[in-house]
Structure 1
């Protein structure tokens, strides 16, 4: 109980001192992208509470070819959560307490940092708090991880002005990416990775291309397949036109989104080649650019057979979310 009280005392101390000018320094947070420090008693971790945490925070990422967790969890009991470990960028602290509570704190031990705190009077109450607050905490953690990924690759950016000239937008694209193909209405950046490539493409469609919600998924797949047939060829196959198409066996996941300050649609799915055993995941944004009477399409996709792709796709997401309109 002393450890529990001590933790909440520290949280309250930092909250109360947030505006105190005497508090001048917090160490820089640490950790690999998409890593999460989970702190709770071993009894909770090995039981139903630990299962509930894994259900939410280690859930499979949508739209990948292999099952990979949302976060790489680094579990530790409270006695180990000391020193530099407290500087972990994303922290989830779960404990028994006299009150049921779930909250998110910012920059408690380090900066930038998010600390999710969940407490309950018993196991069932803790599980209820996790169910109720998990999505909000995950959103906060993912937002912080996106910002960290962007900060890291901004250290060395591609300096060309192709996107500005062709589409009147900018993206923070790491210098490791190079332009592989450029047309009036199509630009393709790619980067070599072990066993494959990471790719970002951009093009536009007419403002009225997507007629209505009832045919949205069909229209998205038709659009992708059309672009693939024109711009994204595959290995030469005698007598066949081999090119990128959407995976036919699995429907894409489609969500409302906002990107670059504009309403958008987020699409997560799988791609393949029309006549060759090759494929991978893609993430696509359809941005409603009313000011320019168009739909702006930006997509990231990865080819890395038999390899984990979560962090590759996360980097592509971080890149695409830097989009800015002129």
Structure 2
């Protein structure tokens, strides 16, 4: 249940950011012109050291440093840097993500945008004592994480849009456009399958685009089993691996939830892939978009092979790319 609430909140927060809505974000009186900075998924937390070492710090770490879903090893949702009020000055205020703990007669959580820099999300958690602040953090966990993650998704999309790869053939053949950098090259282009890959220092990042008939997923109510069967069938045929097949890891139960992409209903699946008979694998995210105008599910998948390297931030990049999908209207 907690996973479903968090994933749902992530979708809601992304939609709010995309539509430009502002919740609990009264405009600041002064004009902010400084550009924000900071590493992806890194947050400045402003609180005193005794709070950081006590109940409030424990509650905050339970929210911000809980494991990221769908990765083979535990990586925190965010990398946290704790600062006191005295050291929270100058460039430290210009970070993109900030959470401030304040003492107040009232207990609550406020979400503010562009307080010290642009773009920026500032979360203010307040209460009369540590117990109240810890409770506010716990009760608002899903919204806090979703709001911060939406900011980072937007930032990653901004970064990757600076030097985009051409997607004419993808649009013509598959009826969808994606925004991804020129660092990705086309590894395969056929009449029913596209594969793009980007080299890392160790390993690579990958994007697949293909389509399946509606019945491939809608045939029965066991959706996750149908999606696993679908991706195993395509992966084993389309991804060349010497001496093995590219399939879904069965020891790790994938996460599944309903979502929307480009206004269409979709299934979002996160899990681990492997190559059978080999010690090779990594995380994947799969979006199966129901495109009834073409009687198909359009499938967008990102997966990573990067042994011994952290994968959280690279998975965010794949998320950011896949969520730029724009499906064209079929010609009559």
Aligned to 1:117: 124
Aligned twin of 2:245: 243
Which segments of 5 or more consecutive residues in structure 1 lack a partner in the other structure?
A: 1-13
Partner of 2:11: none
How far apart are residue 191 of structure 1 and its match? 0.6
Deviation at 1:231, TM superposition (A): 0.2
Q: Distance in 2 between matches of 1:46 and 1:154?
A: 40
1:1-326 pair list within 5 angstroms: 15=26, 17=28, 23-211=30-218, 214-235=221-242, 237=243, 242-326=244-328
Partners of 1:196 and 1:305 within 8 A in 2 = yes
- Contact map agreement 2:112 2:122 (CA 8 A) in 1: yes
- Deviation at residue 15 of structure 1 after TM alignment: 3.7
Matched with 2:3 is none
Query: How much has 1:291 moved relative to structure 2?
Result: 2.4
Q: Structure 2 CA distance, aligned partners of 1:130 and 1:223?
A: 40
The alignment partner of 2:216 has SS state of coil
Give the 3-state SS of the residue equivalent to 1:49 in structure 2. Answer: helix
CA contact (8 A) 1:205 1:296 kept: yes
Measure how far apart 1:16 and its partner are.
5.3
Query: How much has 1:270 moved relative to structure 2?
Result: 0.3
Q: What is the TM-score when the length of structure 1 is the normalising length? A: 0.90
Equivalent residue of 1:157, what SS? coil
SS at match of 1:210: helix
Q: Say if 1:108 and 1:115, in contact at 8 Å, map to a contact too.
A: yes
Residues of 2 paired with 1:130 and 1:118: CA distance? Answer: 7
Distance 1:299 1:95 in 2: 42
Give 1:134 shift. 2.1
Q: 1:268 to 1:112 in 2, by over 3 A?
A: same
Q: SS of the counterpart of 1:228? A: helix
**Are the counterparts in 2 of residues 28 and 111 from structure 1 also a CA contact under 8 Å?**
yes
Match of 1:11 in 2: none
Q: 1:195-215: per-residue Cα shift (whole Å, max 9, x none)?
A: 101000011111222236741
The structure number with the bigger radius of gyration is: 1
| Structure 1 residue matching 2:241: 3-state secondary structure | coil
Kept in 2, the 8 Å contact 1:103–1:117? The answer is yes
Q: How many residues align?
A: 304
Write out per-residue CA displacement over residues 149-169 of structure 1, whole angstroms, 9 at most, x where no aligned residue: 111111111013121011111
How far apart are 1:26 and its partner, in Å?
Answer: 2.0
Instruction: Name structure 2 gaps, 5 residues minimum.
Output: 1-24
- State whether residues 234 and 243 of structure 1, in contact with CA within 8 Å, keep that contact through their aligned partners in structure 2: yes
After TM superposition, the runs of 4+ consecutive aligned structure 1 residues lying more than 3 A away are: 14-18
Q: Please tell me the root mean square deviation across aligned C-alpha atoms, in Å.
A: 1.5
Match of 1:6 in 2: none
